[in-house]
């Protein structure tokens, strides 16, 4: 039994979900296919592909919001889970290049360059597409389970958890950067040609990947909505508010944290898997400390503790990034930092909070109503 404000919100969110879904899934691809390239309604292949990347980030942001926005645990290492998913699919794509590679060898180019003679054993299963896709989800899931089990069992929390996850991001970056790890080193995995026989350079393939991303985002959103509206979701918020009370009410907060950390790791892996074929490259620079921090900023900007806010933040910040980096490439870090400070100081409940307050203010013009309290504190 939620409050009246919550019920109204849930109805509004349901409507917004289907409207956005229709827009993303039907209208956008149609605008890509139907109008001629000169029409102002036309969505270019480039724009659609870029948007697909943003939406993949949206999946990751949903998971990050579950653990940070709802449960109050700040993870600065989600780039690692994203990277595991991305590299798993990237390895499969490397192997499907075959003799189309620069050196014409069956081995990936970087291995020829590094004088590796035979394919390392852990690469072999990635010949299978389905193995790679399963690994893209299961590897980060398993890794989150082990890492989460060890940290939450030791009751590591708050700033200590944030520091440990940041250290994790740093060490993952170091490991993936090394040439002798045989994962492409600094240059990462790139130059992909095809997936399941479809050319990645073909707009039709990219359109399909875009649609897959939208469907995955929708499914991820429904999963997160189911969790947050269940009693388990309430326990997550309760952990954020008073972990001690949760513990003395007979719940084991560690198990709940582990659950939400694993779900969020799996979603980050899914995001990475969808990112790689659309962007065409994955390097250690995309999974280290800085990208992991940026992911947190997406959620903060959109509005933590609201699912829609996480997606809005991921798409919005990355959109701003692609506009700004094309005109002022050097200014982006300053802009990002400034944005984060502005959000923390001025709108701690993010864009969604701002929208809700504007809505309440608008309604208040007609009749005096109380402004709903922001949800996402702590």
Give residues in contact with another protein (CB under 8 A).
Answer: 1-4, 227, 230-232, 234-235, 237-238, 240-242, 244-252, 255-256, 259, 373, 375, 377-378
Q: In the bound complex, what is the minimum distance in angstroms from residue 242's beta carbon to another protein?
A: 4
292 in Cβ contact with 57 (< 8 Å): no
Q: Phi then psi for 371, rounded to 5 degrees?
A: -80, 125
Sign of CA dihedral 20, 209, 87, 260: positive
Beta bridge partners of 198: 195
For residue 354, give the DSSP letter.
H
Nearer to another protein, 2 or 125 (CB): 2
Distance CA(269)–CA(357), nearest Å, equals 34
* Helices and strands (H, E) in the chain, number of each type: 15, 4
Nearest residue to 218 via CA among 138, 308, 89 = 308
Please, is 63 exposed, middle or buried when counting C-beta atoms within 10 Å of its C-beta (0-12, 13-18, 19+)?
buried
Q: In the bound complex, what is the minimum distance in angstroms from residue 309's beta carbon to another protein?
A: 15
Distance CA(268)–CA(63), nearest Å, equals 7
Distance from CA of residue 355 to its chain's centroid? 23
E strand intervals along the chain: 189-190, 194-195, 198-199, 281-282
Nearer to another protein, 242 or 325 (CB): 242
Q: In the bound complex, what is the minimum distance in angstroms from residue 289's beta carbon to another protein?
A: 30
Q: In the bound complex, what is the minimum distance in angstroms from residue 6's beta carbon to another protein?
A: 8
Beta bridge partners of 195: 198
Q: In the bound complex, what is the minimum distance in angstroms from residue 255's beta carbon to another protein?
A: 5
Nearer to another protein, 5 or 112 (CB): 5
Nearer to another protein, 69 or 85 (CB): 69
| Element containing residue 189 per DSSP (H, E) | strand 189-190
Nearer to another protein, 194 or 255 (CB): 255
Q: In the bound complex, what is the minimum distance in angstroms from residue 332's beta carbon to another protein?
A: 34
Q: In the bound complex, what is the minimum distance in angstroms from residue 154's beta carbon to another protein?
A: 13
Distance CA(6)–CA(367), nearest Å, equals 20
On the CB side of 253, how many CA atoms lie within 13 Å of its CA?
24
Nearer to another protein, 65 or 109 (CB): 65
Nearer to another protein, 294 or 349 (CB): 349
Q: In the bound complex, what is the minimum distance in angstroms from residue 252's beta carbon to another protein?
A: 5
Nearer to another protein, 9 or 42 (CB): 9
């Amino acid at each position: 039994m939620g409050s009246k404000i919550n019920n109204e919100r849930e109805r509004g969110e349901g409507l917004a979900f289907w409207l956005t879904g229709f827009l993303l899934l039907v209208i956008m691809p149609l605008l890509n296919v139907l109008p001629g390239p000169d029409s102002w309604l036309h969505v270019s292949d480039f724009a659609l592909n870029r948007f697909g990347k943003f939406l993949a980030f949206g999946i990751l942001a949903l998971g990050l919001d579950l653990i940070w926005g709802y449960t109050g645990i700040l993870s600065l290492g989600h780039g690692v889970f994203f990277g595991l998913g991305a590299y798993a699919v990237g390895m499969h794509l490397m192997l499907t290049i075959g003799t189309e590679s620069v050196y014409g060898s069956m081995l990936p180019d970087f291995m020829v360059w590094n004088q590796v003679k035979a394919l390392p054993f852990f690469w072999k299963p990635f010949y299978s597409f389905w193995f790679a896709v399963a690994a893209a989800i299961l590897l980060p899931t398993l890794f989150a389970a082990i890492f989460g089990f060890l940290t939450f069992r030791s009751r590591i929390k708050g700033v200590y958890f944030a520091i440990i996850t940041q250290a994790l991001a740093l060490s993952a970056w170091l490991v993936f950067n090394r040439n002798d790890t045989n994962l492409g080193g600094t240059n990462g995995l790139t130059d992909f040609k095809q997936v399941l026989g479809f050319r990645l350079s073909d707009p039709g393939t990219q359109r399909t990947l875009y649609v897959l991303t939208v469907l995955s985002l929708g499914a991820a959103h429904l999963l997160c909505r189911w969790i947050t509206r269940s009693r388990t979701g309430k326990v997550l918020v309760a952990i954020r508010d008073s972990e001690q009370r949760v513990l003395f009410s007979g719940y084991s907060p560690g198990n709940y944290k582990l659950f939400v950390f694993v779900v969020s790791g799996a979603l980050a892996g899914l995001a990475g898997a969808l990112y790689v074929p659309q962007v065409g490259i994955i390097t250690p620079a995309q999974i280290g400390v800085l990208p992991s921090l940026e992911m947190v900023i997406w959620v903060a900007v959109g509005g933590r503790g609201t699912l829609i806010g996480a997606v809005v933040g991921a798409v919005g910040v990355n959109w701003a990034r692609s506009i700004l980096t094309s005109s002022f490439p050097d200014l982006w870090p300053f802009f990002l930092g400034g944005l984060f400070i502005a959000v923390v100081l001025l709108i701690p409940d993010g864009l969604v909070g701002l929208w809700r307050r504007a809505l309440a203010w608008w309604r208040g013009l007609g009749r005096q109503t109380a402004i709903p309290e922001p949800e996402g504190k702590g």
